[in-house]
Amino acid sequence: MGVLLRFRETFTRVFTSPTTELVVIILVLAFFAFSRNLVDLPLCPSAFLVDKPCPLCGTTRSVASIFNGNFLSAWSLNPIGYLVVFLLVRRVIVLCFTDYSFTRHLEGKIINTALLVFFFLFLAVRTVHLLLDHWIFVPV
C-alpha cells in the first residue's frame, strides 16, 4: 500500500508541475503551428448529434487559422479562438518568467475580468447569430 501511495504522490507531483503544464501547452501550440490540416473529427456533440453548430463550434479551426496567419478567417470561424490563443500564450509567458513582476499583472484580476467579459460577450453575440441562422430560420 505504501508503494501505491508513493507512486500516487510522484504521479501527482509530475502531472501537476509547472514544467509539465508548460510542455503540454507548447505541444498544443506546436501542433497548431505546424499542422496544415486538422484531424476531421466531430469534436462538438451538438454538431455530431443534431447537425447544428453550437456557439463554441469553430474555435479549434479558428486557433489553427490564427497559427497559419489567416486572421480574418479565424475571426469569422469563431472570435473565441483569439481568446484561446491569448490564454495559452499568456500562460507560457507566466510559466517561463515566474520571477518577473509583469507576470503578476498578466494574470491579474483586471485582465482576467476583461477576458471573462469578452468571452461571454462573444458567446452571447455568437449564440444570437447561430440561433437566427441555424435554429430559428433554418436555411432551405
Q: Which residues bind Zn ion (CB under 5 A)?
A: 44, 46, 54, 56-57
**Nearer of residues 22 and 47 to Zn ion, judged by Cβ:** 47
Please choose, from the candidates 56, 58, 90, the residue with its C-alpha nearest in 3D space to the C-alpha of residue 73.
Answer: 58
Shortest approach of Zn ion to residue 3 CB, angstroms? Answer: 44
Q: CA triplet 46, 115, 27: central angle to 5 degrees? A: 70
| Neighbour tally for 25: CB within 10 Å | 16
Residues in the chain: 140
Nine-digit cell string for 117 = 467579459
Shortest approach of Zn ion to residue 96 CB, angstroms? Answer: 32
**Nearer of residues 24 and 43 to Zn ion, judged by Cβ:** 43
Shortest approach of Zn ion to residue 8 CB, angstroms? Answer: 35
**Nearer of residues 57 and 74 to Zn ion, judged by Cβ:** 57
